[in-house]
Chain A
């Protein structure tokens, strides 16, 4: 079974530039999550989609971050403009949905803002 695919694996940008990350979840998984993992911390949820609708984006810095899942399958996360503190690994995860379904994680995109 194919896992959660993310690209790119690494990205280095200058502050104030924009960047986009892509995620393709496991086929059939209705729920998709984006997490931010800053060095030395555990992953923190940014946004959760159920099919193509947003379930929770309460921790997404909406002045600079945006995400979409237009067709209910793959998703993009964008940062514009980036700040130094956005340097982190951005993890995408997917699950079948519901309170007791397991989340499967991609390998993440490591973003460095200089």
Chain B
């Protein structure tokens, strides 16, 4: 079975600072990788996803993530955060083939961006 580790549980940044959130997964086979975001009072939304191809993927709102297969990592980055990026961020993985898009989530990282 797969597992996901997110090392930063709480992150506080000032506006315009750069962001990197760590995500490592444990699974011996092929995976799809996702970052979801949950803004206060809202539902989980997909930020970006990696299925195959270019390991550097770009998502919405200026976020990007890089898949490093040798490190089993899929870290999320943003060059300059905004106050509106305050949210909880979840890394998730599903195994393929046959994973059926069942997601295994990390514990989440609570990001607070201060003005």
Contacts and interface: CB of A to CB of B under 8 A. Distances in A.
B96 A40 contact: no
Q: How large is the interface on B (under 10, 10 to 19, 20 to 34, 35 or more residues)?
A: 20 to 34
Mostly, the B contact residues are loop
A35 B90 CA distance: 14
Contacts of A55: 100
Interface string A1-34: 0011000000000000000000000000001010
B107 A42 contact: yes
Given A100-B101, A101-B101, 20 more contacts: A4-B43, A31-B101, A41-B107, A41-B108, A42-B6, A42-B105, A42-B107, A43-B103, A45-B102, A56-B100, A91-B43, A91-B44, A93-B44, A99-B100, A102-B46, A103-B46, A104-B46, A105-B36, A105-B44, A106-B43
